[in-house]
Amino acid sequence: MSLAKLLLTAAAFSFLALSASAQDKALIGTWEGWVVEGDGSQQSQRRQRIGELVITAAQITSKDGRGTSMGAGTYRIGGNGAVRTIDATGTAGQPNGKTFLGIYQVSGDTLKWCSGNDRAKSRPADLKTNTGNGHFLMILTRKK
């Protein structure tokens, strides 16, 4: 086998090994929504507008309701089932250098992402806030 074919085969294998599952691919897109209190089931629980959260295969960027950057980062997902783990690490802006342990669920065009802030001691167990533990919940809708 020629070196070129060998390299092409290796590159194709690497790409296939890195390709995301269907659930992981569902996470990729542009989202908008709110940081909420509790489980976010009531409009009165909305606390902070997220104007845009863009998730690509490699990074996350976000803007608040006024269009101001909230930072950027990388992420790693894991676990099985409907609720999976997501660990984000800030690479720019206020979250730079901080790691946020979380869980998420994509259902149709809705993303629920619960995470610990940079002072949280543990990963959230449920998709709802626990301010005593430094957990927050985002409920987002996919932008069309």
- Domain of 100: which CATH number? 2.40.128
Would 99 be classed as within a structural domain? yes
Count how many domains the chain has.
1
**What local confidence, expressed as pLDDT, does residue 144 receive?**
84
Q: Look at residue 5 and tell me if it is in a domain.
A: no
**Of 36, 28, 76, which Cα lies nearest the Cα of 53?**
28
Asked if the structure places residue 6 within a domain, the reply is no
pLDDT of residue 8: 31
Asked, for residue 81, whether it belongs to a domain, the answer is yes
The verdict on residue 14 lying in a domain is: no
Inside any domain, residue 35? yes
Digit-coded pLDDT (tens) for 107-140: 999 999 999 887 787 899 999 987 677 899 999 9
Range of the domain at 76: 22-142
Q: What is the pLDDT of residues 24-51, one digit of tens each?
A: 788 999 999 999 999 999 999 889 999 9
Is residue 59 within 8 A of residue 74, CB to CB? The reply is yes
Answer whether residue 15 is part of any domain.
Answer: no
With a CB cutoff of 8 Å and minimum separation 6, the contacts of 80 are none
Residue 16 lies in a domain: no
Q: Which of 113, 119, 114 lies closest to 134, judged by CA?
A: 119
